[in-house]
Amino acid sequence: MDTDEAHRSERTPPLPPSVHSATVTPPGTALLPSVSPGHDRSNASPVSLLGTYCMRNRPSDHAIAVDGRASMDFVSRGLMNTSSAEVAFNAFFAGCDRFVPIFDPSYDTFDSIRQRSSLLFDALCTAGITVADNETQLPQMLNFELKKHVNQVIVQSQPKVLETVQALLVIACYSPERSLLLSLATRFAIDIKLNLAFDELMSSALEEDDSAVDLPYLTRCSRTWFEIMVLDNMLQVDAGNLPALRPEGHMRRCRAFLQQKHTTPLDLRLLSQVELNSLRTEIHAGFAKEDSGADSDILKATNHATIDINLWYSEWKAMMESSPVANLELPLLLINLRVQKHWCKAMAYFRALKCLGTENVDALSAIGLKILSMAKVELRAHLSATLEEPNLYLPNLRFAMDFVWAKCAFCFLLVLKLTRLLPESQTESYRLLEEGNQLYRQMLNARTCAGTTTSRIYVQVLGMSIEKYSRALQQHYDPQVTTNSSPPAFFWETSDANLELQSFVPEQFVFEWNFPGLTLFSSPASWQNFFDDYLLGANHSTDQALQS
């Protein structure tokens, strides 16, 4: 790609004006400028035009200026040949696009993206080569070069375009710096008015003549903004980020997006996540208002959350099964929907437990124990759903973002913890160990195909969890001295695995993610009373000594 072509790729494509007067923005800032060849900017803001003229004609006070040259893509720079780039590009669209569902395969082709944006092209190749190549250092090298490309784009004053935002979202999904990159993508998206795209798209649908509007472009803009909303809500709930966006209106309205003719199968996945993550944000915000409230009120809020999530699941399941565009993607859509349902319900229940004001399971009320049991049921259902279709969910982890890897490892570790807090029979304990080993093997195989360092960390966390659990089972359930009639609680009381698993809280789930539940513990009331009496006696003796 030559320099002139690279410059052209960074220009915002012109679009026709909206026909919906309620969403028209002031002159000079409209989302959809005129596409007529003789487009006249004389009606733009005089202040903005004067400012541009003054800045261009003012002599520089410095000997240093920002380098405005656009960067060439990896192929043009000789970092990879065209054949390798095509392999990486195709690998991204073989599965990674399910986790960043903002593209249209009929439009976002290899040649098209390379012509439009070198940054987006590099981002897709970097994510794809991580899946396609686990034997060389090429993924690490491209990732290093991609960071430099991002830095250049941020510093340069060239106008940001849709492809710039899309590139940042792709990188954010596969980078530890996800929060910072998402913030940059959000800022750029607002600057180019992507937040208005869906309203413009829906307004044009109400008009008899929509020929003056570039519907495909508005569709791509809407997808990108929806993904920003999904990631913002997800990081707010699951990573403890501060809220950046505040939705206006009910998110169910996004379903209207499926009625336009440019819909793809992955739009079903994207829009279901838009609704779910918005719902999760509302649920967790509602629980925040119930902190230290009455147990009955917390249980009521928990039941409401259950109803809302179940309704979301049943409605979207029906829509996916009846959708004319789902096609071969339907099995993956449905299994992903089930996994998300169980995950969200479990996390909501643990958030409800936090409102009760204690992490000591032995101090929980009957309502608290009921909510804890509900959480355990959902975690086991989550594990079963991931293992039920061995050729669907887990093999596709090789394409997944870090969050999905973390979620799978965390869920099993939390199941182990609840097995200690709510003991099970010997049969169930060994069944859980078998399922854990199956999960570990599948994740290990998927990680072997994906060379990310972060995924390797979560597989190691899962392996350590299973190792501790297996050792605890072997210590207690010795067939020479034990029968199946042994009390289930005895397994934890007679092995050192009690302390190991109770204190096993990987730092990834503390500093990177804000997953709840790992800090729950069991401290019998008798022991607590003993320490209270001991401390009270010690204080009483101290008072007597001071008085004497």
Per-residue pLDDT, 44:
39
pLDDT at 217 over 80: yes
Q: Work out the average pLDDT over 242-258.
A: 88
User: 547 falls in which pLDDT band (50, 70, 90)?
Assistant: low
Per-residue pLDDT, 523:
66
Q: Is 99 helix (H, G, I), strand (E, B) or coil?
A: coil
Per-residue pLDDT of 304-352, as tens digits, reads 999 999 999 999 999 999 999 999 999 999 999 999 999 999 999 999 9
* DSSP state string for 374-399: HHHHHHHHHHHHHHHSTTTTGGGGGG
Per-residue pLDDT, 524:
60
User: 221 falls in which pLDDT band (50, 70, 90)?
Assistant: very high
Per-residue pLDDT, 510:
67
Average pLDDT of the chain to the nearest whole number: 81
Per-residue pLDDT, 291:
80
Q: Work out the average pLDDT over 75-98.
A: 96
Per-residue pLDDT, 64:
63
Q: Work out the average pLDDT over 32-48.
A: 39
Higher pLDDT residue, 448 or 332?
A: 332
Per-residue pLDDT, 53:
40
By CB atoms closer than 10 A (0-12, 13-18, 19+), residue 445 is middle
Per-residue pLDDT, 238:
93
pLDDT at 170 over 80: yes
pLDDT at 169 over 50: yes
Per-residue pLDDT, 61:
58
Per-residue pLDDT of 389-399, as tens digits, reads 778 899 899 99
What is the torsional sign of CA 449, 452, 453, 454?
Answer: negative
Beta bridge partner(s), residue 360: 521
Per-residue pLDDT of 482-500, as tens digits, reads 444 444 443 444 445 555 5
Question: What is residue 98's DSSP assignment?
Answer: G
pLDDT at 455 over 70: yes
Per-residue pLDDT, 35:
40
Per-residue pLDDT, 28:
39
Listed as own residue / partner, the contacts of 210-217 with beta carbons closer than 8 Å and 24 or more positions apart are 210/19, 212/16, 212/17, 212/19, 213/15, 213/16, 213/18, 213/19, 213/32, 214/13, 214/15, 214/16, 214/32, 214/35, 215/260, 215/261, 215/262, 216/104, 216/107, 216/262, 217/13, 217/15, 217/162
